[in-house]
Amino acid sequence: MSGWLTGHYSYRCEPVDYSNHPNTLRMVHACWWYYFSKFTEFMDTIFFVLRKKNEHVSMLHVIHHGCMPMSVWFGVKFTPAGGHSTFFGLVNTFVHIIMYSYYLLAAMGPQYQKYLWWKKYLTSLQMIQFVAIMVHAFQLLFIDCNYPKAFVWWIGMHAVMFYFLFSDFYRQAYQKKQKAKALALAEKALQNGKLNGKQNGYVNGSTHTNGSVISNSTPASNGHATSNGHATANGYSKSRAADYYIKASPDLHYRAMATAEMNIN
């Protein structure tokens, strides 16, 4: 911050300053403190392991915390005042302030979960950070600037690597989970629809119960359909005369046929 936010540094090209100017010395101190902060960030890994939150110790987490101390060490060793590459430290510091503020809220208990809706936007902010670092670093490949090209590639390729790691994490953590959740809801709705169709079976205003149609709001018994609002019971209607006729009709038919044969003979 001692260089970038005070207007002393150029976003287009900032060579390494090896002088003893007060601004340069402040930047040297800032770079070394940034280097030490990469070791304090190991604490979240330690807490994850102690709390058995091993699912949080992902490949992204291991690569990120494993590479950063070594990468920053090269910077403070060979370019102690940083110059152009300190833009990376500036942006990364502000993003980490926001990130660890999120972790603080998450660690304060379930009552603060409602304030953590912006988690996926934090991952998006991480990716935006790396795009900005890529653009800022790789521009020196196309302009004349007295800054080591090796560090341009080192910082730029680190940003590329972390961008793809974070974008893969974003897809795994948010996009695929959202698709899986949507598919689960759709499947549940389909199953509920089939279940309701079997239980209720409303088709054209008639209710199907045990494979029989109930019409005119009259219940059916023993799988027989109702007719004209009258329910059948055990295959018989409510009219005794009709029942007698139904029972007697076969016998009467046989008698009539026997009489006809006798007359012919």
Q: Are 236 and 243 in contact (CB under 8 A)?
A: yes
8, 64, 136, 208: the active-site residue: 64
Between CA 140 and CA 113 the distance in angstroms is: 43
Provide the token pair at 88: 């990376």
Q: Is the dihedral of CA 227, 229, 235, 237 positive or negative?
A: negative
Ramachandran angles phi, psi of 135, nearest 5°: -60, -45
Is 209 in a helix, a strand, or coil? strand
64 included as an active-site residue: yes
A 10 A CB-CB count for 144 gives 6
Which residues are annotated as catalytic? 64
